[in-house]
Structure 1
Amino acid sequence: MDRQPTLETERLLVRPLKEDDREALYEVASDPMVWEQHPIHDRWRREVFDPFFDEGLASGGALAVIRKDQDRIVGSTRYDKYDPQEGGVVEIGWTFLERACWGKGYNTELKRAALAHAFDQVALVEFRVGDTNYRSRNALEAIGAVRSERYELERYQGKRVVHLVYEITREGFTQGPLT
């Protein structure tokens, strides 16, 4: 699966993330409100953001989200954990957009394009979201993602972090709210 495609929607251009995007993306990520419900709530701090950015580059699936009318980066997303077995599964996640894009359909537009690309090659898309990240959970449910029974436990700054696993099948996508 091509985990670094170039995708285009009416308002967005989504392309592979590159090192030259670091400062522009940090400008978006430096807003503490972007991370307030996220388990890693301090990703707005430079010393936390830079390793996150480096990990995204190393993943081979990180994408920059560019608002076409402003020709500038407004966020990022990533394809990760690709498994071609049993029809294929890929994770979409690590998505964040600047606050000016919130509530205006940009996330829905981004997810529609990302899911359409994924479902050309896989049967299932997974999302992992912090259990207290209600903004992201609501956004996932609005695009037709269904919470599975699975969850993952991690630790951050000595505290337990629970990530819930949401899913959308190819069939669910074609019959869901994004079509």
Structure 2
Amino acid sequence: MIVFETERILVRHLRDDDFEAFYALCSDPEIHRYMGDGKPLTAEQTRSWIQISQGNYRQRGYGCFAITSRLDSQMIGFGGIARPANNPHLEIIYALKPSCWGQGLASEFIKALLATSFERWQIPRLEATIDVRNHRSSKAIEKAGMLFVRSSVDEDGYTILWYALDRPDPSHM
């Protein structure tokens, strides 16, 4: 199912037949360098993530989605909304193939995800946590309109930048 489209990308639900393309992304150490504990996912973890995402679609309407190119329908990344155990707010997650970095696709995805989250799912607030070393991601988040809130040190000793955006009040639009 298509969730939303932009000029260059189509975002849709993850399917079982996405496993190989999704695993190629999830097992890439370069992509996961600044994500979570920095370790790529195993095949089993990747399969589980697809199943969890499919359950989230049924239960909530959102989760982690496939980001595909409108040119050739190939999966170029993944992203969506997660609820981390240590955060009461929903968080934006995303990753793109290295060959897609530096083209503005991340901020294009984030901007459309924010709009869809606020309008369709009525999510009141979204946050994003970015490793301070991941300058491209901080730039993409800011370009999409998210605001820097604070920094903190995670359990691995890395500085994390926290960004957030609240759903606009329709009476002020």
TM-score (norm 1): 0.71
Quote the residue 2:92 is aligned against. Answer: 92
User: How many pairs are equivalent?
Assistant: 155
Determine helix, strand or coil for the equivalent of 1:58: helix
Q: CA RMSD in A?
A: 2.8
Quote the residue 1:138 is aligned against. Answer: 139
Asked if residue 23 in structure 1 is aligned to residue 20 in structure 2, the reply is yes
The percentage of aligned residue pairs carrying the same residue is 28
Task: State how far apart, in whole Å, the 2-side matches of 1:23 and 1:6 are.
Answer: 21
Q: Is the 8 A contact 1:91 1:126 kept in 2?
A: yes
Task: State how far apart, in whole Å, the 2-side matches of 1:80 and 1:38 are.
Answer: 13
- Which ranges in structure 1 are unaligned for 5 or more consecutive residues? 83-88, 173-179
Q: Is the 8 A contact 2:10 2:69 kept in 1?
A: yes
Determine helix, strand or coil for the equivalent of 2:76: strand
TM-score (norm 2): 0.73
Quote the residue 2:60 is aligned against. Answer: none
Alignment of 1:144-159 (within 5 A): 144-149=145-150, 151=152, 153-154=154-155, 159=156
Q: Is the 8 A contact 2:5 2:11 kept in 1?
A: yes
Task: State how far apart, in whole Å, the 2-side matches of 1:117 and 1:171 are.
Answer: 12
Quote the residue 1:51 is aligned against. Answer: 45
Q: Deviations over 1:42-78 (max 9, x none)?
A: 31xx53x642552453152110111121111111012
Task: State how far apart, in whole Å, the 1-side matches of 2:44 and 2:143 are.
Answer: 31
Q: Is the 8 A contact 2:11 2:65 kept in 1?
A: yes
- Which ranges in structure 2 are unaligned for 5 or more consecutive residues? 57-62
Quote the residue 1:76 is aligned against. Answer: 78
How far residue 109 of structure 1 moved from its aligned partner, in angstroms, is 1.6
Quote the residue 1:13 is aligned against. Answer: 10
Q: Is the 8 A contact 1:56 1:78 kept in 2?
A: no
Quote the residue 2:107 is aligned against. Answer: 108
Counterpart of 1:25 in structure 2: which amino acid?
F
Counterpart of 2:3 in structure 1: which amino acid?
T
How far residue 5 of structure 1 moved from its aligned partner, in angstroms, is 6.3
Task: State how far apart, in whole Å, the 1-side matches of 2:130 and 2:25 are.
Answer: 20
How far residue 7 of structure 1 moved from its aligned partner, in angstroms, is 0.9
Flag the structure with higher strand content: 1
Determine helix, strand or coil for the equivalent of 1:63: strand
Task: State how far apart, in whole Å, the 2-side matches of 1:135 and 1:104 are.
Answer: 11
* Distance change >3 Å, CA 39–CA 92, structure 1 → 2: closer
* Distance change >3 Å, CA 129–CA 52, structure 1 → 2: farther
Task: State how far apart, in whole Å, the 2-side matches of 1:50 and 1:129 are.
Answer: 26
How far residue 127 of structure 1 moved from its aligned partner, in angstroms, is 1.0
Asked if residue 170 in structure 1 is aligned to residue 170 in structure 2, the reply is no
Q: Is the 8 A contact 2:22 2:46 kept in 1?
A: no
